[in-house]
């Protein structure tokens, strides 16, 4: 038998070898907790699936139900506004999206031992809104609890408050512990209202806990609410004692959180898209800057211009600053210079230095007014020398850069004065 024939036979033998398949993990359905019927007395229903049991609470709201300043049906108006706006924005939702307002309650803040014990979802259902809350019966029934969330189904848009940093990573961790049994967790589109609130109310709201935003911006004052940090204690007591009467307060707390997500989305959309200004100069200046960061320059300019028209120069100083960059981009150099000049009275630090540099550049290269360019250059150099926002190395580089402009302008002025 030739060498090549032996090689071919060996390949055939190797090809016939079956690869060993990993054994599938057999799921053993846990027993129902002994106290599960007691929990039904607290208004919870019992849902059973292939992985065990889950406790559930459902609340239905008519579309005209009011939470704070808004009726829930105004969510539909908010979606219509985004569809008409034709703006690329993280908030933009269309009517085809399956939107879930989502919040969790957990036994701790982080770590492998932290469990999610409550999943809450609010969604529109034709002419009403439905809240579904799922409560973990006990740790042994976690797979049943996670499966019932339906978050393994595709096509959802999830709206949260700090969910990108907290709720969803926690969910991913718990799903990983049950991945041998559950369908794969989807990666839905997420709209995080915490991050948008930071953008909208920067330098205005000192604290951005949801309850503070409710009180100061949404017209909501909670009565008889439990502090969030007590929720895991109450849940743990319900599991140990079998008495779920205290758990009702946790469910109510979670319900208010989720209703506030819907209200906050409506309110934020109104601030972002309505032409009538409903908040202060700081809020709308932040919104104008946000649009600029999203490359929505036209929308940014409209918002910032409205601020400069409806508020005095002191309140609108920062709006003038951002507007000046928009005007410069549009080659409106005269208007841009005027906006930077108005901004100088209120802005400080790096922004003031940037404004002076822009003015020096425009008066030198666009208006050819070298005396004014020199004036702004000298003022900029003085700021650099006194700046506490620059280290010594940065000051040195900046002074070298600005000195070149200073010497160039002096040269141009000498040449201009010596001209016949």
Could you report the per-residue pLDDT of 133-167, keeping only the tens digit for each? 999 999 999 999 999 999 999 999 999 999 999 99
Q: Average model confidence (pLDDT) for the chain?
A: 93
Quick one: three-class SS letters along 385-408? HHCCCCCHHHHHHHHHHHHHHHHH
pLDDT at res. 110: 67
- Given a contact cutoff of 8 angstroms between Cβ atoms, the answer to whether 215 and 221 are in contact is yes
Please state the rounded mean pLDDT for residues 310-331: 97
> Binning pLDDT at 50, 70 and 90, where does residue 9 land?
low
pLDDT at res. 8: 58
- Given a contact cutoff of 8 angstroms between Cβ atoms, the answer to whether 141 and 52 are in contact is yes
Between 110 and 343, name the one with better pLDDT: 343
- Given a contact cutoff of 8 angstroms between Cβ atoms, the answer to whether 29 and 50 are in contact is yes
> Binning pLDDT at 50, 70 and 90, where does residue 20 land?
low
Tell me the C-alpha distance between 150 and 148, whole Å.
Answer: 5
Tell me the C-alpha distance between 88 and 294, whole Å.
Answer: 8
Please state the rounded mean pLDDT for residues 183-190: 97
The alpha carbon of residue 109 and the mean position of all alpha carbons in its chain are separated, in whole angstroms, by: 19
Q: Which two tokens stand for residue 182?
A: 């559950």
pLDDT at res. 114: 87
3-state class (DSSP) for residue 193: helix
The alpha carbon of residue 221 and the mean position of all alpha carbons in its chain are separated, in whole angstroms, by: 23
Percentage of the chain lying above the pLDDT 90 cut? 86
pLDDT at res. 5: 58
Tell me the C-alpha distance between 329 and 340, whole Å.
Answer: 13
Structural domains for the chain:
36-273 (3.30.420.10), 308-418 (1.25.40.10)
- Given a contact cutoff of 8 angstroms between Cβ atoms, the answer to whether 195 and 245 are in contact is no
Report the phi/psi class of residue 278: left, alpha or beta, with left for phi > 0 and alpha for psi in -120 to 50: alpha
| Entry pTM | 0.90
Tell me the C-alpha distance between 122 and 112, whole Å.
Answer: 27
Does 7 score more than 60 pLDDT? no
DSSP 251-313: HHHHHHHHHHHHHHHHHHHHHHH-SS--S-HHHHHHHHHHHHHTT-HHHHHHHHHHHHHHS-T
Provide the strand spans (E) within 92-223: 98-106, 116-125, 128-135, 156-160, 189-192
3-state class (DSSP) for residue 95: coil
Q: What is the DSSP letter of 20?
A: P
Please state the rounded mean pLDDT for residues 69-82: 97
Q: What is the pLDDT of residues 344-364, one digit of tens each?
A: 999 999 999 999 999 999 999
Q: What is the pLDDT of residues 94-104, one digit of tens each?
A: 999 999 999 99
Does 282 score more than 80 pLDDT? yes
Tell me the C-alpha distance between 245 and 65, whole Å.
Answer: 26
Task: List b or e across 74-103, with b for residues whose CB sees 16 or more CB atoms inside 10 angstroms.
Answer: bbeebbebbeebebebebbbeeeeebbbbb
Query: In terms of Cα–Cα distance, which of 127, 126, 129, 196 is closest to 159?
Result: 196
Q: What is the pLDDT of residues 243-266, one digit of tens each?
A: 998 999 999 999 999 999 999 999
> Binning pLDDT at 50, 70 and 90, where does residue 127 land?
confident
Name, of 37-41, 218-222, 286-290, the range with top average pLDDT.
Answer: 286-290
β partners of residue 149 = none
Q: What is the pLDDT of residues 405-420, one digit of tens each?
A: 999 999 999 987 765 5
Q: What is the pLDDT of residues 211-250, one digit of tens each?
A: 999 999 999 999 989 998 999 999 999 999 999 989 999 9
Between 113 and 91, name the one with better pLDDT: 91
pLDDT at res. 1: 53
pLDDT at res. 275: 86
pLDDT at res. 408: 97
- Given a contact cutoff of 8 angstroms between Cβ atoms, the answer to whether 318 and 285 are in contact is yes
Please state the rounded mean pLDDT for residues 102-112: 84
Provide the strand spans (E) within 12-51: 45-49
Percentage of the chain lying above the pLDDT 70 cut? 92
pLDDT at res. 154: 96
């Amino acid at each position: 038998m030739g060498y090549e024939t032996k090689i071919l036979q060996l390949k055939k033998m190797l090809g016939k070898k079956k690869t060993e398949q990993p054994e599938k993990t057999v799921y053993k359905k846990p027993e129902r907790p002994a106290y599960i019927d007691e929990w039904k007395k607290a208004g919870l229903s019992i849902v059973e699936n292939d992985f065990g049991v889950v406790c559930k609470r459902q609340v239905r709201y008519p579309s005209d139900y009011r939470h704070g300043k808004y009726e829930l049906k105004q969510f539909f108006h908010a979606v219509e506004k985004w569809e008409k706006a034709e703006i690329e924005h993280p908030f933009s939702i269309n009517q085809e999206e399956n939107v879930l307002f989502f919040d969790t309650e957990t036994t701790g803040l982080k770590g492998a031992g932290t469990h999610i014990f409550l999943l809450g979802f609010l969604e529109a259902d034709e002419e009403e809104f439905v809240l579904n809350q799922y409560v973990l019966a006990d740790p042994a029934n976690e797979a049943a609890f996670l499966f019932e969330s339906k978050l393994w189904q595709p096509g959802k848009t999830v709206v949260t408050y700090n969910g990108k940093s907290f709720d969803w990573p926690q969910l991913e961790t718990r799903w990983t512990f049950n991945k041998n049994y559950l369908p794969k967790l989807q990666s839905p589109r997420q709209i995080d209202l915490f991050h948008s609130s930071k953008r909208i109310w920067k330098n205005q709201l000192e604290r951005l806990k949801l309850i503070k935003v409710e009180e100061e911006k949404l017209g909501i004052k909670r009565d008889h609410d439990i502090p969030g940090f007590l929720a895991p204690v109450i849940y743990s007591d319900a599991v140990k004692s079998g008495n779920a009467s205290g758990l009702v307060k946790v469910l109510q707390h979670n319900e208010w959180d989720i209703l506030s997500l819907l209200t906050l989305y409506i309110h934020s959309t109104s601030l972002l898209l309505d032409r009538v200004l409903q908040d202060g100069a700081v809020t709308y200046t932040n919104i104008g800057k946000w649009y600029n960061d999203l490359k929505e320059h036209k929308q940014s300019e409209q918002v910032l211009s409205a601020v400069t028209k409806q508020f005095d120069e002191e309140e609108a100083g920062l709006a003038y600053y951002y507007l000046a960059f928009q005007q410069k981009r549009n080659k409106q150099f005269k208007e841009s210079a005027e906006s930077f000049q108005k901004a100088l009275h209120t802005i400080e630090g790096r922004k003031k230095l940037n404004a002076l540099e822009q003015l020096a550049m425009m008066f030198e290269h666009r208006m050819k007014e070298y005396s004014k360019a020199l004036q702004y250059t000298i003022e900029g150099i003085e700021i650099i020398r006194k700046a506490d926002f620059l280290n010594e190395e940065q000051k040195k580089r900046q002074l070298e850069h600005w000195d070149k402009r200073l010497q160039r302008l002096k040269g141009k002025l000498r040449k201009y004065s010596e001209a016949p």
